[in-house]
Amino acid sequence: MKTATWICDTCGGEISDVSQGWVEWLTRVDGDERAGRGLRLVHHWPASPKQGKYRCQYNTEDEHKKDGSTLLDSPLEHFWGADGLMRLLGLLSEDELPKADVIEMIKRLHIGGYELARRHFEGAIADGAFDTNTKPGFHTQAQIKTTLDWLRKNNA
């Protein structure tokens, strides 16, 4: 399936193909429930520009020491396409991770242009690139395109 570009949450570098991405989070048992944290999208180990034992992925030993959490992780491909969206919705329904984190991941993986525009909406709006009538961070495709055009113009 076609590639897209994402930004690694660890190193800030580009993840330029689905096969290079890795989705991971940490979870621990809290009473009868599982409490998750730290959902993120990073370079898969072999694709990472970083060195070291864990590269862009979680240092599972350090994270376990913090609060007893263990790692849950999957290739980005697992959360890609219609089946991937369904898996993310399933994750959302389980209430294991903060809802806002799962929603953000859904937008990053499934809304065209969102990943590259998401850090720039406020700047584009402040600069008058578009008037927003949507909930902050929940923009239309036209607004996302305007933001990306604004970004290109300002980086030129």
- The site for Zn ion (CB under 5 A) is made up of 8, 10-11, 13, 43, 56
What is the smallest separation between the CB atom of 38 and Zn ion, expressed in angstroms? 15
Q: CA–CA separation, 93 vs 9, rounded Å?
A: 24
CB contact at 8 A, 135 and 33? no
Least Å from the CB of residue 58 to Zn ion? 12
CB 20 within 8 A of CB 77: no
The CA distance from 154 to 143, in Å, is 16
Phi/psi class of residue 81: alpha, beta or left (left: φ > 0; alpha: ψ in -120 to 50)?
left
Specify whether the CB–CB gap between 74 and 83 falls below 8 A. Answer: no
Q: Which is nearer to Zn ion, 24 or 96 (CB)?
A: 24
Q: In this complex, which beta carbon is closest to Zn ion, that of residue 10 or of residue 143? A: 10
Q: Which two tokens stand for residue 53?
A: 């034992």
Smallest gap from residue 100 Cβ to Zn ion (A): 22
**Taking the complex as a whole, how short is the minimal distance between the CB of residue 8 and Zn ion, in angstroms?**
3
Query: In this complex, which beta carbon is closest to Zn ion, that of residue 11 or of residue 72?
Result: 11
Nearer to Zn ion, 56 or 125 (CB): 56
